[in-house]
Amino acid sequence: MKTRSLKAAEIQKEWYIADAEGKTLGRFASEIAKILRGKHKPTFTPNLDMGDFVIVVNADKVKLSGSKETNKTYFKHSGYIGSTTFTKLDQMRRTHPERIVEKAVWGMLPKNRLGRAIIKHLKVYIGEDHPHSAQQPKILEI
């Protein structure tokens, strides 16, 4: 018995489209992270970028459970002393609602150069429209 290792040239990537309307953020983001990472494929290799491209539409209509809508904050630090920034979720939803989904998915990916390459395959849009219709994405039922 031999274990066959997949090469980077043998990887075939597909495009999927997922609708975030009415979905719970954490459960939705974990499924998206699984597709981006490639864990749904039988040929999954942890050290390669195996995943597919995912288009998320209606990112502004994702829901959160409990009191997270008013209590959840996002933290950002520039590296300079005293330059911390805290942003509430309701303010993020008003200004940049696509970042809510992006940050949730990014938190579920590895924090290394592979994770930074994988997150580039995530495309998040506020409404129904997206510019990736030429790729003929498959509908992802989550």
Indicate the domain borders of the chain.
14-63+99-139
Give the model confidence (pLDDT) of 7-44 as tens digits: 889 999 999 999 999 999 999 999 999 999 999 999 89
CATH assignment, 14-63+99-139: 3.90.1180.10
Laid out side by side, the sheet with 53-57 consists of 122-124, 53-57, 15-19, 138-139
- Parallel, antiparallel or unpaired: strands 138-139 and 73-77: unpaired
Name the residue type at position 81. Answer: I
| Residue 4 confidence (pLDDT) | 81
pTM over 0.75: yes
User: Taking the mean position of all CA atoms in its chain, how far away is CA 101?
Assistant: 6
Which tens digit of pLDDT belongs to each residue from 79-98?
999 999 999 999 999 999 99
